Amino acid sequence: MKRYTITPCLAALLVALLVLTPSAARASGSFIGPFDTVRTVASTVPTNGDVNPYGVAVVPRSNGNLVKDQVLISNFNAKSNLQGTGTTIVEISASGARRLFATINAANLHGSCPGGVGLSTALVVLRSGWVIVGSLPTTDGTSKTAKAGCLIVLDSWGHVAESFAGGHINGPWDMTAFDMDDEAALFFTNVLNGTVAAGGQVVNGGTVVRMNLAIADGQKPRLISSTVIGSGFPERTDPAALVIGPTGLGLSGDGKLYVADSLDNATDAIPFALFRTSAAGPDLVSKGIALNDPLGLAMAPNGDILTVNGNNGRIVETTPSGVQVAMELLDSTGSPPGAGTLFGLAVVPGGSGIYFVDDGTNTLNLLHD
């Protein structure tokens, strides 16, 4: 039997989660079922020409240059379109106004970041105003030069404050967070554990890490602990996608962390994510049917799991029990339609729709009724 240790800090996190989510039970009906319209909100391309939008995060509170309910988006490619070279985060309002939030210089990271800067889908905004983004960098856009990268911490004005590297960080690919203002638990996936050396062959080295941070007023976040809570996820390098492996993450009201298991065309769960002290293997929730290379993942207000497919431009809604209850087409362009265009997504505040990026058109879009 696995044993779990609850520290006072993590116990407080769990209690707060249950309080903030009075019922973990799924509300009746599909969340995305009423949504049938896709609208382009804005281009995600800043003045330096960065492309390939990946991460999506909604701002929870106004602070500095962060405006409540606006959307931050990280770009994975520079203007050259080489993967793993993008350095910018843009901020977009619901009306489509776009401005540059940050340009991250590899020479000014206030810490280590093996390989430099190539901003991945791993992007969160904390209520305290700190923004944390993952870097999975390359020098030439190919997996042969991919390096371990880091997590980069920016203040609410878009200035780099510090970076976390080494330890359990090895190709951070996506991220979510449980936020309690003065402390936070980050959850992120890694996709470089043995993938480059395997030369395109599948290896079961993908991991999910929980990183606990303390956040005191006027001070940058301080690392408390780092724990691998999930392992054994399949991953491999890919000429078109750079790397494929565990991607999107979402934390449910009952403390399960859901993972988009891209290579298995599945969603998996990691139980007791807030306080487990050992790694769980992939616990299957749903596989195949409408799931086709699930990448981005978000939790719907009714407790269902939302994933976007990398292979066909569709969003899928799955219940915690594994029943796929709804599907909508988000992108019908390309050959095959919608292939390789969808990554980050986030629920619109109030639940009126879903924001998602399309890296085929370099835009932020909205699915709504």
Digit-coded pLDDT (tens) for 200-223: 999 999 999 999 999 998 899 999
Q: What is residue 187's three-state secondary structure?
A: strand
Q: What pLDDT sits at residue 36?
A: 94
Give the confidence band of 23 by pLDDT, cuts at 50, 70, 90. very low
Exposed (0-12), middle (13-18) or buried (19+): which is 107, by Cβ within 10 Å? exposed
Largest CA distance in the chain: 55
Give the confidence band of 14 by pLDDT, cuts at 50, 70, 90. very low
> Smallest Cα–Cα separation from 190: which of 238, 139, 229, 140?
229
Q: What pLDDT sits at residue 29?
A: 85
Spatial neighbors of 168 by CB under 8 A, at least 6 apart, are 190, 207, 209, 211, 226, 227, 228
- One-letter amino acid at 121 equals T
Give the confidence band of 13 by pLDDT, cuts at 50, 70, 90. very low
d(CA 349, CA 284) in angstroms, rounded, equals: 29
> Could you tell me which residues are beta bridge partners of residue 58?
71
Tens digits of residue pLDDT in 70-120? 999 999 999 999 999 999 999 999 999 999 999 999 999 999 999 999 999
- Average pLDDT of the residues in 284-308: 98
> Smallest Cα–Cα separation from 48: which of 2, 20, 14, 85?
85
CATH fold label, 8-26+53-289: Neuraminidase (2.120.10)
Q: What pLDDT sits at residue 28?
A: 52
Element holding 18 (H helix, E strand): helix 8-20
Tens digits of residue pLDDT in 138-153? 999 999 999 999 999 9
Give the confidence band of 270 by pLDDT, cuts at 50, 70, 90. very high
Domain ranges of the chain: 8-26+53-289
Give the confidence band of 332 by pLDDT, cuts at 50, 70, 90. confident
Give the confidence band of 10 by pLDDT, cuts at 50, 70, 90. very low
d(CA 111, CA 88) in angstroms, rounded, equals: 18
Dihedral angle of Cα 174, 143, 119, 150, to the nearest 10 degrees: 70
d(CA 135, CA 54) in angstroms, rounded, equals: 11
